[in-house]
A and B are shown apart, each in its own frame.
Chain A
Amino acid sequence: MDLIYLNREDFAKWDEFVQNSPQGSIFSKSWYLDALGVDYKILAVTQKGSIKAGIVLAKNEVNTFSNPMLDKYLGFLFIKEDGNYQKQISNRYQYMNILANEIKDITSFDYYFHPNFTNWIPLYWKGFAQQTRYTYIIDNSRSLEEIESRFHHNIKRNIKNAIKNGVEVRREIPFEDLWYVVNKTFLRQGSKAPFNKDRLKRFINDLMNRGSFISFGAYNDRNEPIAVLGFVYEEKSSYLLLNGVDIDREIRGANALIVKESIRYFYNICQKYDFEGSMIEGIEQFYRRFGGELIPYYRVWNDNIFNYLKTIAKKYYKRFKYGR
């Protein structure tokens, strides 16, 4: 078995591997990373030329080996294997050991893994640390009636209020509207959006050209956007990446209404609807009330003083900046 960094000419093969891997998602595909405009390399375990496992090692905005913004799930991906369960597990342990031996030298290694990565024991043995985080996911194999019947009664009531107040839902809204409301949401929380407007515009354009991004907006009767959503999607799942509310113009239920409409939109297009978190107190409660299942995913990092201090610094920065 070989461990190699893939060349650009192997990226199409990598993307196909990602497509078929249970831990693979759009976030690990090379064209998605290119659209984000981040530095990355791909480490793969191969056998007789076929990829058995791998990991995207992307650098984030502060140049450390960690998820860039808008790139939610990375981490280890494995080939889908059939047959004997015990054999599959021991193969996975072997792949993980090979990858871990290489990445343990990357001091800043700190990534969010895909929810289908559910066993980090070999990484524990190699000196990594783990933390469980959560997202809410709606399974689209249920009927739409069942999905909507699970909404919390406050959500249902608020949606009715938004409809009664003439809130209009639009799809594929202008980028300026999306940006305006998302940025305003960050400003309200104490800082500007943590991504650059031009970069976001380019990223969204690239994804729209590939048919994997869509936005939704709730508009008031003065044609002003009052809540917006931005989704990345593929057949496996839709991912709620951007959510903004203009609190000055807010009509109760407008945000819930567009979430509901987006759930309906993706129902026939994707297998799952992923709220993409959140661990933030107010946001978590809002997403929880759409009745999705609480799904854990892992953050895995190299357990060293650099990452410990980074985590502490991040915590204090958030407390100082956003009061949470």
Chain B
Amino acid sequence: MVAEYLNKENYEEWNRFVDESKTGSIFSKTWYLDALGMNYKILVVRDNQKIQAGIVLPKNEINIYSNPMFDKYLGIIYANFCGDKYKVVSKEYKYAQILAKEVSKFASFDYYFHPNFKNWIPLYWEGFYAQLRYTYIIDNQKSLDEIYNAFQKKIIKKNIDFALKNGITVRKDIDFETFWMLVNKTYLRQGSKAPFSKDRIKRYINELQKRGVFEIFGAIEKDGRCSCVCGVLYEEKSSYLLFNGIDIENMTRGANALMIWESIKYFHSRCKVYDFEGSMLPGAEPFFRKFGGELVPYIEVCNNTFFNFFKKKAKKFYKKLRYGR
């Protein structure tokens, strides 16, 4: 059994495979990658002509094998194997090792895997290195009352009440210019402009909205101004909070929390879970944590090379220099 790269005519088969897999998500689908405008190839292992495992290998904005922006979970995707747990595990190990042997040729290999990918032992054996990261996820099997009750009282519930009392409303008909202005403003406040171009994001959001998988929410102040926005990507498996922009100087306290709460309510009956998409940032993590979601780990797997070691060091240094964190 060997790994092979898929041709374009097999992409529909791949997208069905991603849909059915527990470790697959919208982020690995070809039309999503096309909307992002990234270069990518897809490596798979077949048995009896059926795809048993695979991985999307896009290059990111600086041309290395790593998640592009807004493509949160990639990594190895398995078919949903049947049989006893020993058979399932040994199949997963076998396919992961076949894929790993091929991708170990890429010195810059460094991807975030889906939270349902739990066991990286076979990749360890092939010389890879993995680090755990976290996101917060709300399980939509819970009732909205239960979800709300888990919110932290002082920061979230009280602030939501405050925003409501002060006439904040949440709307979904936010135009792209307002959305862009607030997202960009958030980056500017942190010390640099948004790390993506306006035109690219516009095209990307247009594509996703045409497919009905992206929603923008905005909090509207009493004077009609929009003071914060969030952009949520979604599929039946999950919604993913990808963008959050706020005008902190001109925002009523609690407007952002209220808007996120409204988005949680909106997706409650549409998706199985609500994924806050991280973050590991000291400024963002405490806020997301207070919505009471479950802390869910996901794995970053990278080729254990000098290239990746120095890349991480350089990234850290750059962030410290640029954003002071």
Q: Chain A interface (Cβ within 8 Å of chain B)?
A: 85-86, 89-90, 118-121, 124-125, 127, 129-132, 134, 152, 279, 281, 284, 288-289, 294, 296, 298, 303, 308, 312, 315
Q: Are A134 and B121 touching (Cβ within 8 A)?
A: yes
Chain B residues contacting A120 (CB-CB under 8 Å) are 132
Contact of A130 among B131, B285, B290, B312 (CB under 8 A): B131
Chain A residues contacting B297 (CB-CB under 8 Å) are 118, 132, 296
Given contacts A279-B124, A288-B89, A289-B86, contact A121 B134 (CB under 8 A): yes
**Cβ contacts A to B, 11 pairs, < 8 Å:** A86-B289, A86-B292, A124-B280, A125-B282, A129-B131, A131-B130, A132-B130, A132-B297, A284-B121, A288-B89, A312-B304
The answer to whether the Cβ of B255 comes within 8 Å of any Cβ in the partner chain is: no
Min C-beta distance of A93 to chain B, whole Å: 8
Q: Which 5 A-B pairs have the closest CB atoms?
A: A86-B152, A125-B282, A132-B132, A152-B86, A130-B131
A86-B152, A124-B280, A298-B132 given; name 18 further pairs at CB < 8 Å. A86-B290, A90-B286, A118-B295, A118-B297, A120-B132, A121-B285, A125-B282, A127-B316, A129-B131, A130-B131, A130-B132, A131-B130, A132-B132, A134-B119, A134-B121, A284-B121, A294-B119, A296-B297
Chain A residues contacting B32 (CB-CB under 8 Å) are none
Interface size on B, residues (CB 8 A): 30
Find the residue from A86, A120, A298 having the highest chain B CB count within 10 A.
A86
CA distance A152 to B304 in the complex (A): 33
Q: Are B130 and A119 touching (Cβ within 8 A)?
A: no
The answer to whether the Cβ of B129 comes within 8 Å of any Cβ in the partner chain is: yes
Q: Chain B interface (Cβ within 8 Å of chain A)?
A: 86, 89, 118-121, 124-125, 127, 129-132, 134, 152, 280, 282, 285-286, 289-290, 292, 295, 297, 299, 304, 309, 312, 316, 325
Q: Are A132 and B86 touching (Cβ within 8 A)?
A: no
Q: Are B295 and A119 touching (Cβ within 8 A)?
A: yes
CA distance A312 to B306 in the complex (A): 10
Min C-beta distance of B91 to chain A, whole Å: 14
Find the residue from A89, A121, A279 having the highest chain B CB count within 10 A.
A121
Chain A residues contacting B280 (CB-CB under 8 Å) are 121, 124
Chain A residues contacting B316 (CB-CB under 8 Å) are 127
CA distance A119 to B296 in the complex (A): 10
Chain B residues contacting A131 (CB-CB under 8 Å) are 129-131
Task: Report the nearest B residue to A155, measured CB to CB.
Answer: B86
Q: Are A132 and B125 touching (Cβ within 8 A)?
A: no
CA distance A89 to B136 in the complex (A): 14
Chain B residues contacting A303 (CB-CB under 8 Å) are 312
Chain B residues contacting A315 (CB-CB under 8 Å) are 127, 304
Chain A residues contacting B325 (CB-CB under 8 Å) are 125
CA distance A145 to B76 in the complex (A): 36
Chain B residues contacting A281 (CB-CB under 8 Å) are 125
CA distance A131 to B86 in the complex (A): 25
Chain B residues contacting A89 (CB-CB under 8 Å) are 289
Q: Are A132 and B299 touching (Cβ within 8 A)?
A: yes
CA distance A120 to B118 in the complex (A): 17
CA distance A86 to B316 in the complex (A): 29
Task: Report the nearest B residue to A125, measured CB to CB.
Answer: B282
Chain B residues contacting A152 (CB-CB under 8 Å) are 86
Chain A residues contacting B309 (CB-CB under 8 Å) are 308
CA distance A315 to B129 in the complex (A): 12
Chain A residues contacting B89 (CB-CB under 8 Å) are 288
CA distance A288 to B316 in the complex (A): 37
